[in-house]
Amino acid sequence: MNVLSLSKGAVLSQPVYEPGKPIEDVARELGLDPATIIKLASNENPFGPSPRAVEAARKALTQAELYPDGGCVVLRQKLAKHLALPPEQVVVGNGSNELLELVGHVFLGLGDEVVMGNPSFIVYKLVTLLFGATPVEVPLVKHRHDLGLLLEAVTPRTKMVFLPSPNNPTGTANTQEEIFAFVRSLPEHVVFVYDEAYSEFLDNPPDLRPLIKEGRHVICLRTFSKIYGLAALRVGYGYCSAEMAGLLNRVRQPFNVNAIGQAAAIAALDDEAFAAKCAQDNRAGLKQLEAGFTKLGLEWVPSVANFILVKVGDGGRIFAELQKRGIIVRPMRAYGMPEWLRITVGTSSQNERLLAELAKVK
Ligand SMILES: *Cc1c(COP(=O)(O)O)cnc(C)c1O
């Protein structure tokens, strides 16, 4: 019997996530020196992690023979203090991607509908399909989530709504007023997953803690992969009611978050100045890219995140041309936007190099 035929129904039809290309792969394929390649494809922090986080990780590595703290006690305490919530309302994951999968484990099954924007983070759709639920995709309006349209898509079968703000890949955000009105209009049988992967880049990020406090079924997800520059170590966290955190803790692996990541995350939270500087430099980088695109006569979508969409015509061709020149960006065909590229904001010299190469190939 063919092993494929033994797999469960959803697996064979499951689409595969296409990540940004690693620098080493591109270097090997194109015969380039890895040191000359820049990656502006996965919204990583071009300034790296805080030196204090690196030092803490190095120290933790010397005790790599020990299992990590399965309850992430110290990190959760630190996050709880940061959020002014009890630690019971904080849950830590192997990146926020794991938390997205855990909400699927807890809540989603056959026949459930899950409402999400399109284009938005592809993982929402993958998680929905993985658990046999049905994605209900609502087109964005002017590259932004229209929460009125999302609400119209909610039916008696809706189990969950995903909303990232700022949205990936468009970089657009919704206001606190819009989100509060939306969540307060949701029926009780809907869980609202609010993905704050890029919220630290906002001046005044919406604060959904009052919604959690008044008993709405809300979970907010954050990550150490973006502004904290720790994507390799896979640490994300969620905050929600203690009841919901308890459900997620039931379905996770006992040692889901590694010790090096926990130590680095704790230290990263102690270096607020580093994160603040990264947010500030990101704003300057966005302005630099916007001005550069405008000068090249290219349309772009105003972004409040650490990446920006730019319309280049044949996105696949420009992606390949830039890659040959040692710059990895993200083509948007998988998101249904073949004329666009998503470009992560780099350091000012990386942005300058990107703009110079783009001018040559566009
Ligand atoms: C990058 C990103 C994440 C973070 O994923 P991790 O698993 O924490 O690295 C989550 N949501 C969105 C929308 C993202 O773009």
pLDDT in tens, 274-297: 999 999 999 999 999 999 999 999
Residue 195: phi, psi to the nearest 5?
-95, 110
Cα 223 to ligand 1 centre (Å): 7
Asked whether the beta carbons of 261 and 186 are under 8 A apart, the reply is: no
Residue 203 confidence class, pLDDT cut points 50, 70, 90: very high
Number of domains observed in the structure of the chain: 2
3-state helix, strand, coil in the chain (%, to 5): 45, 15, 40
Strand order in the sheet with 330-331: 299-300, 307-311, 340-344, 330-331
Residue with tokens 């906002």: 202
Q: Is the pLDDT of residue 9 over 80?
A: no
Q: Is the pLDDT of residue 247 over 80?
A: yes
Residue 21 confidence class, pLDDT cut points 50, 70, 90: confident
Asked whether the beta carbons of 341 and 331 are under 8 A apart, the reply is: yes
Q: Choose which residue among 39, 97, 100, 126 to substitute to test ligand 1 binding: the one with the highest number of ligand atoms within 8 A of its C-beta.
A: 97
Tell me, what's the pLDDT at 10? 76
Domain that holds residue 343: 7-48+272-361
Same domain, 219 and 345: no
Residue with tokens 């978050």: 257
Nearest to 96 by CA among 207, 240, 195, 206: 195
Are β-strands 218-223 and 38-39 bridged in parallel, bridged antiparallel, or unpaired?
unpaired
Enter the pTM of the model.
Answer: 0.96
Same domain, 223 and 304: no
Asked whether the beta carbons of 255 and 249 are under 8 A apart, the reply is: no
Nearest to 331 by CA among 347, 313, 349: 313
- Residue 247 falls inside a structural domain: yes
| Ligand 1 pocket by Cβ (under 6 Å) | 43, 95-97, 121, 164, 168, 195, 197, 223, 225-226, 231, 236
Pairwise CA distance, residues 253 & 263, whole Å = 19
Same domain, 112 and 154: yes
Tokens of 241: 């009611």
Pairwise CA distance, residues 203 & 117, whole Å = 24
Same domain, 40 and 133: no
Cα 171 to ligand 1 centre (Å): 13
Q: Is the pLDDT of residue 362 over 90?
A: no
